[in-house]
């Protein structure tokens, strides 16, 4: 069964996460399939690429089984594994189309970072969002800091990352991190379609040149190297073991 799907209708392509039974948690298998599908999407003649997700959530972040497997791996191996994981998902930044994340339900951790890797976002007002890394006992990954800072500003990004607190889609929009909201999940398709249509009405050549210009000055490489090393350390720590146990036991962690 495919973990990611792609369809194109006229000037708009849609890349869809297809793991609803796991709240679209991001596994190594999904990462590989995602990267391959992104390559296909980049060859489409569409002007806009919408990133959406099946089921009740956009993404619950990193797959818990993947996290637990990394806890067993040698620390020296984990940094490389995480770099590949980041690269597979963040390859979305390299497509020539304008990318729009369509966020509903829950988007936390790496799942929220994936949404922020898009050029634009539309979100349901009561969506539950958060950078929950520190609450799990894990160093942030997936370029969390530079993407959060670019989306909501330096001070707000520090608040959200250091506390790991949840916030809403309405909050993200008010802070400038999303360009449109929908009051209800059922309205999100129409909101996204309206924005996609307005963008797709523009010149394909101009859009692609402008898209490249908007990426100038944001080199994620040094952040990803540091994050991978930090995650390699925290994967072997007692705090992450407690954080994972707390999730499994449906309780608050005790760090």
Q: What is the pLDDT of residues 42-57, one digit of tens each?
A: 999 999 999 999 999 9
Cα angle 240, 164, 30 (rounded to 5 degrees) comes to: 65
**Count of domains for the chain:** 1
DSSP per position, 103-132: E-SEEETHHHHHHHTSSEEEEETT-EEE--
Render pLDDT for 145-166 as a digit per residue (tens, 0 to 9): 999 999 999 999 999 999 999 9
What is the per-residue pLDDT for 201? 97
Q: Is residue 67 part of a domain?
A: yes
170 is in which domain, residue-wise?
4-185
Q: Is residue 235 part of a domain?
A: no
Q: Is residue 199 a part of any domain in this protein?
A: no
Contacts of 105 (CB under 8 A, 6+ apart): 23, 53, 55, 56, 57, 58, 124, 127, 128, 185
Is residue 251 assigned to a domain?
Answer: no
Average pLDDT, the chain: 96
Confidence band of 176 (pLDDT split at 50, 70, 90)? very high
* 220 belongs to a structural domain: no
CATH of the domain at 37: 3.90.226.10
Q: To the nearest 10°, report the CA torsion of 71, 139, 4, 197.
A: 180
Task: Tokens for 35, please give them.
Answer: 């990267």
Residue pointed to by tokens 């090393």: 229
Q: Is 190 exposed, middle or buried (0-12, 13-18, 19+ CB in 10 A)?
A: exposed
| pLDDT tens for each residue of 101-126 | 999 999 999 999 999 999 999 999 99
Q: What is the pLDDT of residues 180-197, one digit of tens each?
A: 999 999 999 999 999 999
Instruction: Give residue 161's pLDDT.
Output: 98
Domain assignment present for residue 214? The answer is no
What's the pLDDT band for 1 if we cut at 50, 70, 90?
Answer: confident
How is the chain split among helix, strand and coil, in percent rounded to 5?
55, 15, 30
Q: How far apart are CA 195 and CA 216, in angstroms?
A: 24
What is the C-alpha separation between 34 and 101, in angstroms, rounded? 15
Could you write out the DSSP letters of every residue in 132-150?
Answer: -HHHHT----TTHHHHHHH
**Cα-atom radius of gyration of the chain, to the nearest Å?**
17
pTM for the full model?
0.95
User: Within a domain: residue 132?
Assistant: yes
Asked whether residue 63 is assigned to any structural domain, the reply reads: yes
């Amino acid at each position: 069964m495919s973990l990611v799907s792609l369809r194109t209708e006229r000037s708009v392509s849609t890349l869809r996460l297809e793991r609803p039974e796991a709240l679209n948690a991001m596994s190594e298998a999904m990462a590989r399939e995602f990267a391959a599908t992104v390559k296909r999407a980049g060859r489409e003649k569409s002007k806009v690429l919408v990133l959406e997700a099946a089921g009740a959530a956009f993404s619950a972040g990193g797959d818990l089984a993947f996290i637990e497997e990394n806890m067993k791996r040698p620390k020296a191996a984990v940094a490389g594994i995480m770099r590949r994981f980041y690269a597979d998902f963040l390859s979305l930044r390299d497509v020539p189309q304008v990318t729009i994340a369509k966020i509903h339900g829950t988007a936390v951790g790496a799942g929220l970072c994936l949404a922020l890797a898009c050029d634009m976002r539309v979100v349901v007002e009561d969506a539950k969002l958060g950078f929950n890394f520190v609450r799990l006992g894990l160093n942030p990954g997936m370029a969390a800091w530079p993407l959060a800072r670019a989306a909501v500003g330096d001070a707000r990004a520090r608040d959200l990352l250091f506390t790991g607190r949840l916030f809403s889609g309405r909050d993200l929009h008010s802070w400038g991190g999303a360009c449109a909201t929908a009051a209800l999940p059922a309205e999100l398709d129409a909101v996204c379609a309206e924005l996609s249509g307005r963008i797709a009405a523009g010149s394909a050549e101009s859009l692609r040149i402008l898209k490249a210009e908007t990426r100038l000055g944001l080199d994620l490489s040094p952040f990803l190297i540091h994050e991978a090393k930090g995650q390699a350390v925290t994967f072997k720590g007692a705090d992450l073991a407690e954080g994972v146990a707390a999730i499994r036991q449906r309780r608050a962690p005790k760090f």
